Amino acid sequence: MSALELDLETVLASTARVIADLEQAHTDLSQHAARVEAELAVKVEELDRAHARLAAVLSALPTGVLVRDAEGNLETANQAACQVFGLDAAACEDAANAQLDPTSACSTVEVRRADGSPRQVVVRCAPVHDAEGELIGSVQTLDDQTDLAAAERRLQQQSKLASLGTLAGGIAHEVRNPLNAIRGFGSLMASELEDDERLGRWASHIVSGADEVEEIVAATMRLARSGEVAAEETSALELAREATELAASTRPEGQRALWTLEVEGSDHACSGERIELRQALRNLVVNAMDVQPEGGRVLVTVTCDAAGTCFQVEDAGPGVSAEIVDRIREPFFTTRAEGTGLGLALVHSIADLHGGELDLDAAPSSLGGACFRLRIPSRA
């Protein structure tokens, strides 16, 4: 064999070894790539599960959460945040950007929902930094305090009524005995002075004044009542008609025609204390008549749904100004010189006793005046 042939054979052998090494390296690299790909798939799956868990936790949080990038643009809004605005996730971004300051550390703001209703929300903001300390975004939390604020107002109201009840009990004990004496002697004077028109009229005023004071004391004690109600089933429409007739009877017979009192709606069973509910409705109708001293129209509408019964009382009076809306349920608050300020407060107390509520529409009624709604649940 020649030298050339030996060199060629050596080259071929070397080439074969190189090819074998390359094939082995390729095999090893393919196996390594397969292992890396499998490990990467596991990591991606774990990351997807972690992301899904985080998204589920974020969605389940009762507190609203808004996640923003470094420029303040909204990236994520959880379900509670969308509920604050009354919008879906797609529309929540515009509302959040329009109504919230993305840089405010902590503030209480009034947020308007999609239906226009206001919500009192505590907004807190915290910056988010990466491992190197660079700002990469922020997280805002929205804590809707509207229901809590309403509960606090109800608690304050109940506290006031409890104090008022204690005071009323003492007043009733001390006042009623001399008051009965005044009424009794006033009645005797009125009967003895029937022939004297002037003195007889004064004596009658004494009796009517004593009756009015007695009614104020009795109303104050009813206002502070608490405990369980003796619920009974009664016709809601019949209850509204009786209350309207009682309200009309508070006016002199010759003046009753000045007011048009209408009752309409569906008839169904209403659960509650009949006398108390009738008193509450009577007060609402009387109040609607009082704000129309020269006469006018009052419409009582009875409706029912799964939640319970709603008695709606509308008038054609001047309405209620926004400045006093929050005060109309307070005992002894009145805008009329001849009013006692106990009518609406008593209605509110009766509604609360039944687990219901007294609402006032912000907008004018269909008659142009105020619109009160007395809501009583299905089971008081």
Residues 154, 367: Cα–Cα separation, whole Å: 30
> Which residues are CB-contacts of 334 (< 8 A; sequence separation ≥ 6)?
340, 341
b/e sequence 277-295, b meaning 16+ C-beta within 10 Å: bbbbbbbbbbbbbbbbeee
Q: 35-54: per-residue pLDDT in tens?
A: 888 888 888 888 888 877 87
What does the pLDDT look like over 350-368, one tens digit per residue?
888 888 888 888 778 888 8
Fold classification of 227-251+258-380 (topology level)? Heat Shock Protein 90 (3.30.565)
Rounded average pLDDT over 112-141: 84
Structure confidence at residue 367 (pLDDT): 87
Token pair in block for residue 349 = 């107390």
pLDDT score recorded for residue 324:
65
286, 325 contact by CB (below 8 A): no
Query: What's the CATH number for 61-144?
Result: 3.30.450.20
Terminal Cα distance for the chain, rounded: 116
How confident is the model at residue 48, as a pLDDT?
Answer: 81
Distance from C-alpha of 216 to C-alpha of 212, rounded to nearest angstrom: 6
CB 366 within 8 A of CB 300: no
DSSP state of 78: -
